[in-house]
Amino acid sequence: MYGILAWPPQDLSEWMEELADEYGVSGYGPPHLNLRQPFKWRWSKEALRRGVEGILRGHEAFRVRLGGWRTFGGGVVYLRAYGGGPFERLYRALEPLAEPEHEIEGPSYIPHLTLALGMGDEAAKKLAEKLPQPPRGSFTVKEVALVSDDDDGELVEIARLPLGQATSEKHQNKR
């Protein structure tokens, strides 16, 4: 299975990992913001990398604003993220690559960073109510990580690809 995601800044990632340790919970892999739902790919990793890279050329870096803690049914605790129009356009541009593995989020995906999976719904709600606000209010997504999961369920980074690369190249060529 493959994913296209953004890694949060190191300080936010470490903070979320410390919270997970403190409360004895875990998400799927290190903290990350999915830029589309996980999917299967039948062709080569290189073909996928090139396809994603081509899509990213049409999308500039964008700011993600962080909200509060929320829950999804099934015992998921997450930090809400708001990327606005730029996030939405990128998400929609990446969707046609392949069908999602499962329709996890449904057609109206809610951007988020997962802290915990597999808790009871009531325990998840109680945890979300007592978690502190993040140490920062936003971060900028400048690059995208293309990942797969290995046999042990760990996320393995295949490539990091910059947003808006074609625009950056144009500016460099004008100098």
How many CB atoms within 10 Å of residue 126? 13
DSSP string covering 5-24: EEPPPHHHHHHHHHHHHHHT
Quote the pLDDT of residue 45: 95
pLDDT tens sequence across 139-152: 999 999 999 998 78
Is-contact 37 109, C-beta < 8 A? yes
**pLDDT for 173 beyond 70:** no
Helix then strand then coil, % of the chain, to nearest 5: 35, 30, 35
% pLDDT > 90, the chain = 78
Compute CA distances 44 → 2, 41, 48, 82, 107, whole Å.
12, 8, 6, 32, 27
Q: What CATH number corresponds to the domain at position 20?
A: 3.90.1140.10
**pLDDT for 172 beyond 90:** no
Nearest to 2 by CA among 52, 33, 46, 41: 41
Split into its structural domains, the chain has a count of 1
pLDDT tens sequence across 49-59: 999 999 999 99
Lowest mean pLDDT across 19-23, 124-128, 138-142, 170-174: 170-174
% pLDDT > 70, the chain = 90
End-to-end CA distance of the chain: 42
**pLDDT for 169 beyond 80:** no
Is-contact 120 25, C-beta < 8 A? no
Nearest to 109 by CA among 124, 123, 94: 94
pLDDT tens sequence across 102-115: 655 555 789 999 99
Q: In terms of residue numbers, what domain contains 165? A: 2-174
CA distance 70 to 172: 43
How many CB atoms within 10 Å of residue 147? 22
Q: What is the mean pLDDT of the chain?
A: 90
Confidence (pTM)? 0.88
